[in-house]
Amino acid sequence: MMERSEAPNLPTRPIEAGWLALREPADARARDAAADLLLPPLLTQLKHLDDDEAPRVVDLGAGTGANLRWLAPRLPHPERQRWTLVDHDPGLLARSPVHATPLQADVIDLGDVLARTGEVDLITAAALLDLLDAEELAAIVSAVVEAGVPALFSLTVDGFTALDPMDPDDPPLEAAFDAHQRRDGRLGPDAAAFTADLFREHGRQVLEVPTSWRLDPAGGDAALVGSWLEGRAQAAVEHVPELRPTADAWLSRRAPGGLGLPRVLVGHVDLLALP
C-alpha cells in the first residue's frame, strides 16, 4: 500500500465526515438517475482492458470513499479494482474503505499523484470542481489529458436551487451564498462549464448530464435538508455578516414550527470527458 505523504503545506478545506455521510444517499439517488446516460460510454472506453484486468482508478478529493462505493460496483471486476483515494485530509482518508490505497495530497497535484501511482484507467471525483479556481482546474484537466484516460467528475453544483415553499428572504441569502462559493477566485457554479470547455479545447469529447438533488423532508431527507439550510445560512453570513438577523429569522421560519422544512431542488451536473 502506498504510504501517506507528510504534506505539511496542504491547503485547509475542512469538510465534516458527518456531512459527507448525510449527503451520500442523496448523491447516490442523483447519480442513479443519470447512470444510463453516463456509464455506457465510460464502459466502452474501458473495453481495452483484458477479460482478467480490473480498472485502476484515481479518485480526487475522495473524502471517506463515497465515490468508490457508488462507482466501483458499476465498473468491471469490482472485487479486483485498484483505487487510489486522494485527499488533503488524513482524518477523512482514515474512514475510507480498507481495500483502497489512501494518498494524502492536494488534488491540484494530480500530475505528481499519477507519477507515483503509475498507469491508471480512469480519473474521477465527486463534489469537487466547484471548490477550485481556474488555475487549479486547468492543472487537473492538463494532467488528465496527459494521462490519456477518461475522466468522470460528478455532482458539481450548477447554481440552481428551488425551495418549496418559497420565502421572501430566499433571494438575498442565495445571492450571498453564491458569492461565497466564488470567494478567492473559486468558480463555484461555473466550474463544470469551465472544465467542460477546457476539455473540449484539448479535443476531448464531453458529456454533461444533470444530477440534481430532489430532497423531500417527508420522504426521509429531513436531516439533510436541515443541515443544508444551516450550511447555506452560515456561508451567506460568512460572506455578508450584516445578513445575520435575516439568516436567523429565515432558519426559524424554515424550522418545523414555522413554514417547516422545504422540499429542495439543488442543481448538480456530472461531466464525462473521453479521449
CA distance readout (Å), 119 to 35, 109, 123, 236: 26, 16, 11, 42
Domains in the chain, number: 1
Q: Which grid coordinates are listed for 180?
A: 461565497
Single out the residue of 3, 126, 145, 119 nearest to residue 54, CA to CA: 119
Residue 5 lies in a domain: no
What is the domain-level CATH number for residue 121?
Answer: 3.40.50.150
Residue 102 lies in a domain: yes
Residue 101 lies in a domain: yes
Query: pTM surpassing 0.85?
Result: yes
Residue 194 lies in a domain: yes
Single out the residue of 15, 2, 30, 28 nearest to residue 61, CA to CA: 15
Residue 251 lies in a domain: no
Per residue, the 3-state secondary structure of 115-183, as one string, reads HHHCCCCEEEEECCHHHCEHHHHHHHHHHHHHHCCCEEEEEEEEEEEEEECCCCCHHHHHHHHHHHHCH
pLDDT tens, position by position, for the chain (275 residues)?
333 333 433 444 468 888 999 999 999 999 999 999 999 999 999 988 777 788 999 999 999 999 999 999 999 998 889 999 999 999 999 998 878 999 999 999 999 999 998 889 999 999 999 999 999 999 999 999 999 999 999 999 999 999 999 999 999 999 999 999 999 999 999 999 999 999 999 999 999 999 999 999 999 999 999 999 999 999 999 999 999 999 999 999 988 766 789 999 999 999 999 99
